[in-house]
Amino acid sequence: MPELPEVENLRIGLEKNILGQKISSVEVRNSKIISGKGTLRTASKKKTKEFESELKGEKFIAVKRRAKNLIFELTHNKTILAHLKMTGQFAYKASTGKTKVTGGPARNTTHSVVGGHPIEISESTLPNKHTHIIFKLEKGTLYYNDTRKFGYVIYFKDKNIFENENHFVNLGLEPLDKSFNVGYLSEKLKIKKGKIKAVLMNQDVVTGIGNIYADESLFEAGINPTRNASTLRKKELENLYTAIVRIIKQAIKVGGSSVATYRLLDETQGNYAREHKVYGKAGKNCTKCGKLLEKTTVQTRTTVFCPRCQK
């Protein structure tokens, strides 16, 4: 699943490509994707009809992000909430045949502009068997593809309805929010009894941190991922706060981490993977002390750490 830096880069890329464009038509090919957020979802003909008819003619006026969620704001106060989950993907193909590359000039290509988890067939064929929603725009087409169909794209008739749903009520602060500081982190963690890595990934203290950035932040802070969150001392909390902010900022700057199947909107890989110190490096030498990095499991996720540097 993409973490905050990857989703933020996708948000930026989508904004550059679709902002201001009117939706000419919408086709929902799999109603479950637009019918709810849970794993067990029932296709709704009513929601499908509303999705297709009420979005037609609207324009994209903003693309925002909260944690790992994308929020599309449209004209007439309408809103779309999207979460890629494990294998969701947005692909935008310009009708001119030119691809607008994030951070560079347009170039001619036979490939689509893809953001999220790449699906091999999407690089040559759009739509394809994994395409579940098609937004025809003025200058191109936006597709939502998903191989395992865990993601969701939900339409709200009014922004107030979306806000009143309190979808983000259980989320903690964004790591780059001004309110996220050592004091906040200390107050939240002192009442937590779980392992510090699990607490960071649970999203109710700080959002957007998953397996990759939890491992990297804890290594930089010198904290063992299996430590109980409530046992962290003042200096350790300061180190952890500093590590989280620095790493998230740097990962956003360089495009995120491309591991497994994640790609950016212009189909390039994020570059932060080159800076990983521990993630995916079990059995290799620690960059600080030279000792072999070890792995364990925290909340079913493979966790890599240095037994000497992380206490």
- The order of strands in the sheet holding 113-116 is 23-28, 131-137, 140-146, 88-94, 113-116
> Which helix (DSSP H) or strand (DSSP E) does residue 186 occupy?
helix 182-189
Confidence (pLDDT) at 109: 42
Confidence (pLDDT) at 264: 54
Closest among 241, 246, 175 to 209, alpha carbons compared: 175
Q: CATH assignment of 182-305?
A: 1.10.8.50
HSE-up (13 A, CA, CB side) for residue 156: 20
DSSP SS3 for 230: helix
Confidence (pLDDT) at 78: 98
CB 243 within 8 A of CB 221: yes
Confidence (pLDDT) at 107: 41
Closest among 289, 282, 220 to 248, alpha carbons compared: 220
Give the CA angle between residues 61, 28, 91 to the nearest 5°: 55
Confidence (pLDDT) at 265: 55
The domain limits of the chain are 4-164, 182-305
Catalytic residue among 11, 65, 68, 93: 68
* Annotation says 301 is catalytic: yes
Give the CA angle between residues 95, 90, 112 to the nearest 5°: 40
CB 178 within 8 A of CB 226: no
Catalytic residue among 3, 6, 174, 267: 3
Locate 79 and state its tokens: 């809103």
Confidence (pLDDT) at 106: 39
Catalytic residue among 32, 227, 295, 301: 301
pLDDT per residue of the chain (311 residues) written in tens, 0 to 9: 678 888 888 888 889 889 999 999 999 999 999 999 988 899 999 999 999 999 999 999 999 999 999 999 999 999 999 999 988 988 888 886 554 444 434 343 433 466 777 688 887 789 999 999 999 999 999 999 999 999 999 999 999 999 999 999 999 999 999 999 999 999 999 999 999 999 999 999 999 999 999 999 999 999 999 999 999 999 999 999 999 999 999 998 887 665 444 555 555 555 777 889 999 999 999 999 999 999 999 999 999 999 999 99
Confidence (pLDDT) at 21: 97
CB 293 within 8 A of CB 308: no
CATH H-level, domain 4-164: superfamily: MutM-like, N-terminal (3.20.190.10)
pTM for the full predicted model: 0.86
Report the 10 Å Cβ neighbour count for 187: 10
- How far apart (Å, rounded) are the C-alpha atoms in residues 223 and 132? 43
Percent helix, strand and coil across the chain, each to the nearest 5:
30, 25, 45
